[in-house]
Amino acid sequence: MTTAPGALVPFGARLAAAMDDHGPLCVGIDPHASLLAAWGLDDSVAGLREFSLRVVEALGGRVAALKPQAAFFERHGAAGLAVLEEVLAAARAAATLTVVDAKRGDIGSTMAGYADAFLADGSPLAGDAVTVSPYLGFGSLGPALERATATGRGVFVLCLTSNPEGREVQHAVGPDGVSVAASVAAQAAALNAGAAPMGSVGLVVGATVGDAARATGTDLTAVNGPLLAPGVGAQGAGEAELSAVFGAARGQVLASSSRGVLGAGPGADDLRRAAAAAAAEVRAALRPGA
């Protein structure tokens, strides 16, 4: 991809290139207490740091993206957040994209504060993208969307999630006859219009939601942005599930696997083999013939 000197390369373009180079796989960094124990580490800040930086060291430069789950760092307080900052810096040094899975959502100046934290240049908590919640109204995401555009970063907006409770909101139909999920997808599509190879406003669509897109009238093919798909591997989603959920939009999918890869640790070679196998599997499922 040719870019004018000094030009900002949008997140969508950078992610598309990373997916082409490494396969459409994002590995979650989810330091559950049980995973720390399985790796022989204490459920402490020291264990958190050892676990997370081992993942970056093993997989940096080898996968399309890494996705640290903010909650597992926040549970350790300020020291845990400091580890998250280290993880993001280490991934940046390894030239690997990061999606901070923080699911932030609020209004006005509070949303602007979250945007400053996770999307502003110079913020130690800023990755390349962040997950956000639209359930205070899609328009409430304005500060995050504006800051992401200004800094060349991305956002992934919750749309169709795999938890059963999500249906109460996401499948609900408004007075215009349009479901919440379909409205979220349409508004993301409008923001991505004309972007090539794809826009920087992505959606979170669980890999195990079955026919939810069809049932809610959600047009994923029109989004023209990345579709982050948690649930691959340990949660049961394979080729059949990915095909059923995404159909013709499969080429936009960034499949996310956490325990399916992390469970192979703590050895670096074992993690790399697990990630390579997962990447090959999702490439075959999402980009047949590529």
Active site residue 103: yes
- In the block, tokens 């095909």 appear at 243
Could you tell me the two tokens for 281?
A: 């599997």
pLDDT, residue 5, reads 41
Residue type, 143: P
- How is the chain classified by DSSP, letter by letter? ----TTPPPPHHHHHHHHHHHH-SEEEEE---HHHHHHTT--SSHHHHHHHHHHHHHHHTTTSSEEEEBHHHHHTTHHHHHHHHHHHHHHHHHTT-EEEEEEEE---HHHHHHHHHHHHSTT-TT--SEEEE--TT-GGGGHHHHHHHHHHT-EEEEEEE-SSGGGHHHHT-B-TTS-BHHHHHHHHHHHHHTT-SS--SEEEEE-TT-TTHHHHHT--GGG--S-EEEE-BSTTSB-HHHHHHHHGGGGGGEEEEESHHHHTT-SSHHHHHHHHHHHHHHHHHHHSTT-
The architecture (CATH level 2) of 24-104+258-284 comes to Alpha-Beta Barrel (3.20)
pLDDT, residue 244, reads 82
> How far is Cα 38 from Cα 47, in angstroms, rounded to an integer?
11
pLDDT, residue 241, reads 78
CATH of domain 105-257: 3.20.20.70
> How far is Cα 50 from Cα 40, in angstroms, rounded to an integer?
11
Per-residue pLDDT tens digits for 57-73? 999 999 999 999 999 99
pLDDT, residue 287, reads 82
Residue type, 197: P
Are the C-beta atoms of residues 278 and 25 closer than 8 Å to each other? yes
Q: What are the residues whose beta carbons fall under 8 Å from the beta carbon of 7, sequence distance 6 or more?
A: none
pLDDT, residue 3, reads 37
pLDDT, residue 243, reads 80
Of 32, 92, 103, 287, which residue is the catalytic one? Answer: 103
pTM above 0.85, yes or no: yes
Q: Which residues of the chain have pLDDT under 70?
A: 1-7, 233-238, 289-290
Comparing 24-104+258-284 with 105-257, is the CATH topology the same? yes
Torsion angle, alpha carbons of 52, 54, 60, 65, to 10: -30
pLDDT, residue 237, reads 60
Domain ranges of the chain: 24-104+258-284, 105-257
Per-residue pLDDT tens digits for 199-237? 999 999 998 898 999 999 999 999 999 999 998 765 556
pLDDT, residue 238, reads 66
